[in-house]
């Protein structure tokens, strides 16, 4: 049974719908191109590999990931004695699925602590609003913490979203030490037996050492106040920047022990292929992706639906 047929058998139209519309542009650059190649060149030959490499690069998988995939593809073609281009593309789609680490978000009893980090404008605050909305709908109590104290507007933005969702927002005085606001937030959540605390942090560039150290400090005060590690430290990446996002992520991962990636702004991008490289290089799960600016536009990431959506045109 081909990989495509296995995917199709597993997925429902409801599960694939947001992926098919959200990743339409990525599909145009990937699945559509695969389909065209199969049409022109039904049998595998050397030039097919070069053309596939080209397609992968254009879909923003990055040079390293693309050449690794082509290498694995050659091995697979040899081992399985593949002759038709259709078979090769099917094998490639399977390889695109492999780097994704399974993830299921399970909230435990007691306080679940989420620390959200990332560079300026990646979508941290919006993601927190969307998460607060999701958890509230699941019947959980939520509190947000505005530890982005650099800009008054940042605090206002989180307060505004929290109001809309109907959850309390803990903030400090302007220019307060972000770590002290985090302590207040955790204490509040513990005192009120809240299920989820979502901590928003200021956007920072990964090359600004003192700001990265500040994140490490925030992590330490969480441990001190809550008497345990945060449950989730998620790095929010702007998916529309493709390979750029990946470079930032590596530094964040070293400084604050990131446990997962939320990739935003994937709606409309042609760079969706970068998700494969992100999963492969960072070896971290992708719990959620952002496919729009509304509260409902954060969806749990389903790697099967993703690979289906970006390659479907090439399936027989
Ligand atoms: N299209 C789209 N836009 C998004 C998505 N997520 C966030 N945005 C937009 O991206 C912009 C920046 O989002 P914020 O949530 O303010 O980003 P931030 O990381 O908190 O930014 P700073 O606090 O300045 O570091 C806003 O205009 C959001 O509406 C998404 O999934 N899709
Ligand atoms: Mg923000």
Kindly list the domain boundaries of the chain, sorted by start residue.
3-100+309-314, 112-300
Which residue do the tokens 């998700």 mark? 275
Instruction: Identify the burial level of 48 via C-beta atoms within 10 angstroms of its C-beta, where 0-12 means exposed, 13-18 middle and 19 or more buried.
Output: buried
Q: Which of the listed residues 22, 161, 293 should we mutate to test ligand 1's pocket, taking the one with most ligand atoms within 8 A of CB?
A: 293
Does 207 score more than 80 pLDDT?
no
Count of Cβ atoms closer than 10 Å to residue 226 Cβ: 20
Minimal-distance CA residue to ligand 1 atom 7: 123
Assign domain 3-100+309-314 to its CATH architecture: Up-down Bundle (1.20)
Which ligand 1 atom is at minimum distance from the Cα of 200?
A: 20
**Tokens standing for residue 5:** 């047929």
Question: Would strands 298-300 and 288-290 be described as parallel, antiparallel, or unpaired?
Answer: antiparallel
Res 39: pLDDT: 93
| Nearest-angstrom CA–CA distance, 40 and 313 | 15
By CB atoms closer than 10 A (0-12, 13-18, 19+), residue 82 is middle
Contact yes or no for 218/117 (Cβ under 8 A)? no
In the predicted structure, residue 209 carries a pLDDT above the cut 90: no
Higher-confidence position of 250 and 217: 217
Closest C-alpha to ligand 1, atom 6? 123
What is the spatial distance between Cα 59 and Cα 43, in angstroms, rounded to a whole number?
Answer: 23
Q: What percent of the chain has pLDDT over 90?
A: 81
The hierarchical CATH code for the domain 112-300 is 3.40.50.300
**Angle formed by the axes of helices 274-282 and 63-79, nearest 10°:** 90
Residues in contact with 144: Cβ distance below 8 Å, sequence separation at least 6, in sequence order:
128, 132, 158, 161, 162, 167, 168, 169, 170, 185, 197, 198, 199, 200
pLDDT tens digits, 99-151: 999 999 999 999 999 999 999 999 999 999 999 999 999 999 999 999 988 88
> Is 147 close to ligand 1, i.e. is its CB under 6 Å away?
no
Residue 314 has pLDDT above 80, yes or no: no
Pick the ligand that lies closest to the CA of residue 237: 1
Placement of tokens 């972000």 in the chain: 178
């Amino acid at each position: 049974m081909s990989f495509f047929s296995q995917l199709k058998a597993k997925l429902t139209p409801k599960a694939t719908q947001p992926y098919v519309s959200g990743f339409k542009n990525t599909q145009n650059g990937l699945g559509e191109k695969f389909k065209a190649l199969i049409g022109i060149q039904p049998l595998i030959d050397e030039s097919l590999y070069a053309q596939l490499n080209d397609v992968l690069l254009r879909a923003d998988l990055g040079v390293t990931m693309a050449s690794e995939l082509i290498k694995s593809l050659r091995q697979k073609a040899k081992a399985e004695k593949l002759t038709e281009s259709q078979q090769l593309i099917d094998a490639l789609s399977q390889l695109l699925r492999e780097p994704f680490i399974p993830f299921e978000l399970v909230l435990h009893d007691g306080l679940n602590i989420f620390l959200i980090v990332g560079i300026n404008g990646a979508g941290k605050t919006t993601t927190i609003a969307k998460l607060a909305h999701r958890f509230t709908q699941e019947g959980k109590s939520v509190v947000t913490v505005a530890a982005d104290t650099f800009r008054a507007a940042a605090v206002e933005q989180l307060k505004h979203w929290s109001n809309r969702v109907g959850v309390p927002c803990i903030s400090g005085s302007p220019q307060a030490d972000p770590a002290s606001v985090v302590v207040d937030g955790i204490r509040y959540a513990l005192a009120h037996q809240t299920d989820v605390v979502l901590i928003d942090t200021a956007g920072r560039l990964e090359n600004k050492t003192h700001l990265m150290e500040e994140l490490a400090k925030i992590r330490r005060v969480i441990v001190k106040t809550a008497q345990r590690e945060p449950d989730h430290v998620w790095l929010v990446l702007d998916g529309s920047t493709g390979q750029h996002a990946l470079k930032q992520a590596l530094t964040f991962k070293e400084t604050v022990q990131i446990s997962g990636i939320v990739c935003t702004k994937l709606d409309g991008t042609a760079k969706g292929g970068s998700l494969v490289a992100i999963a492969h290089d960072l070896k971290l799960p992708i719990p959620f992706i952002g496919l729009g600016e509304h509260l409902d536009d954060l969806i749990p990431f389903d790697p099967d639906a993703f690979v289906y959506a970006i390659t479907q045109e090439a399936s027989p």
